[in-house]
Structure 1
Amino acid sequence: MNEKTVAFIRLAIPLYAMINALLLSLGYSPIPFAPEKVDAFITGLIGVISVLWAWWKNNNITPEAQGMQKALDDKKAYNKLKDI
C-alpha cells in the first residue's frame, strides 16, 4: 500500500468513531452500520480495487511482450548511464 492509502485509512477509522461518538453525545443514534458490515464493505472494497489494479497494470505474459519490456528496461538503463 502506498502512503496516501495508509494515511486515508488512518484518518477514516478515527473519523468514523468520532462521528459515532458525536452523534451519541447529541442524543442521536450512531451511524447504523454494524462493525461486521463495515469490515465486509472494506474487505470488498479492497478486493475490487485490487482486481481493478491487476487488470489495469501492464502484465507482460506473452514472449513478445516480455521481450519488448526487456528492451525498454535496457534502454532506460542505458539512458541513466548516459546521463551520469
Structure 2
Amino acid sequence: MPHLTSASAADSGQAEHFRRILAERRAELDARLADDARRLAARRRAGSTCGVKAIRYRMRKLERQRDEMDRMLTGLDALAAASVTS
C-alpha cells in the first residue's frame, strides 16, 4: 500500500487545488461557448450576418482555451495517478 510523504501529500493537495480551479474555469468557458452558440443560431435564424464572423472567431479562441485546459487537467490527473502508485 503506497503512503504519501508530507511533501507528496502537499503536492497532491496543491494539484487538487489547481485541478478545481481549472475545472471551474473550463465550466465558465463551456458556458461562454454555449452563449455564443445561441447568439450565432439566433443570427442565422434571423438571416443576419452582422457579427457572425466575430462570434465565430471568439468561439474558436474559446475552444482553443478549453482544449488547453483539457490538456492541463489530463496532465494533473496523470501526475496524481503517478504519485499514488509510486
TM-score interval (norm. to shorter)? 0.3 to 0.5
RCO comparison, higher one (Cα < 8 Å, 6+): 2
Choose between structure 1 and 2: higher helix proportion. 2
